[in-house]
């Protein structure tokens, strides 16, 4: 029975990465019909993988993944109105994601968190202030996004520095991948909207798949740690 379960998890993991690679290729060739199918399928596979692997799946994490699925679909058309809706959904997603991490990490000392968050905040807001063509309706949403991703990275970095264990290492990897993802999406949307799109979209998809897989591994690790205590 245990061997069958392990085989199912391995099979789902392999299918997840194969599908992610196919999605990256579809993004490179801008094959919209394949993108519309593969992009949501990648997230759905991770949902199935998580619900299979977790002893007691978190409704909050399932919601986080579901909102990610919606965001990915809204990013496909690459039009300002869809980008605006995607930012709204993604902001809700990021708030819930951050709430999930704080509930799993149990931060006791906020000084290291503030110190670790500051550099990320500085980088993202410098980039934000140097950007001229941000739509007025998206302005506040992007400010919130910068704060949330900086906090996410700050929690991960401070937790890793304070306690270098497997769980915190996975969280740091996930956070850094999310930071690179947000940076690449921001550059593509506001700096290189008509240039290098063939490069940035596949890169963003690859980072997205790896970041969420790392987050899934972190949640599983955190759940096991909680159950063992």
Q: What is the pLDDT of residues 58-72, one digit of tens each?
A: 999 999 999 999 998
- Cβ contacts of 186-190, under 8 Å, gap ≥ 24: 186/127, 186/131, 189/83, 190/131, 190/133, 190/134
At 45 the pLDDT is 97
At 87 the pLDDT is 85
Spatial CA neighbour of 101 closest among 48, 47, 42, 153: 153
**What's this model's pTM, rounded to 2 decimal places?**
0.93
CA dist., res. 219 & res. 133, Å (int)? 37
At 5 the pLDDT is 84
At 72 the pLDDT is 84
At 137 the pLDDT is 78
> Which parts of the chain register pLDDT below 70?
1, 190-197, 228-229
At 207 the pLDDT is 96
At 99 the pLDDT is 95
């Amino acid at each position: 029975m245990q061997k069958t379960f392990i085989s199912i998890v391995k099979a789902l993991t392999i299918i997840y990465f194969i599908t992610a690679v196919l999605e990256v290729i579809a993004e490179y060739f801008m094959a919209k019909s394949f993108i519309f199918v593969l992009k949501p399928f990648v997230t759905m596979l991770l949902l199935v993988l998580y619900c299979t692997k977790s002893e007691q799946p978190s409704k909050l994490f399932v919601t986080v993944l579901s909102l990610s699925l919606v965001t990915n679909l809204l990013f496909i058309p690459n039009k300002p109105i869809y980008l605006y809706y995607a930012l709204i959904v993604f902001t809700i997603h990021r708030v819930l994601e951050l709430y999930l991490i704080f509930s799993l990490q149990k931060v006791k000392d906020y000084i290291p968190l503030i110190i670790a968050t500051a550099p990320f905040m500085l980088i993202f807001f410098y980039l934000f202030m140097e950007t001229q063509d941000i739509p007025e309706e998206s302005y506040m949403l992007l400010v919130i996004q910068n704060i949330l991703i900086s906090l996410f990275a700050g929690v991960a970095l401070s937790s890793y520095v304070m306690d270098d264990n497997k769980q915190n290492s996975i969280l740091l990897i996930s956070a850094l991948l999310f930071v690179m993802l947000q940076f690449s999406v921001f550059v593509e949307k506001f700096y290189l909207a008509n240039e290098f799109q063939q490069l940035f979209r596949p890169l963003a998809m690859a980072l997205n798949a790896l970041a969420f897989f790392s987050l899934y591994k972190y949640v599983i690790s955190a759940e096991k740690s909680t159950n063992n205590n």
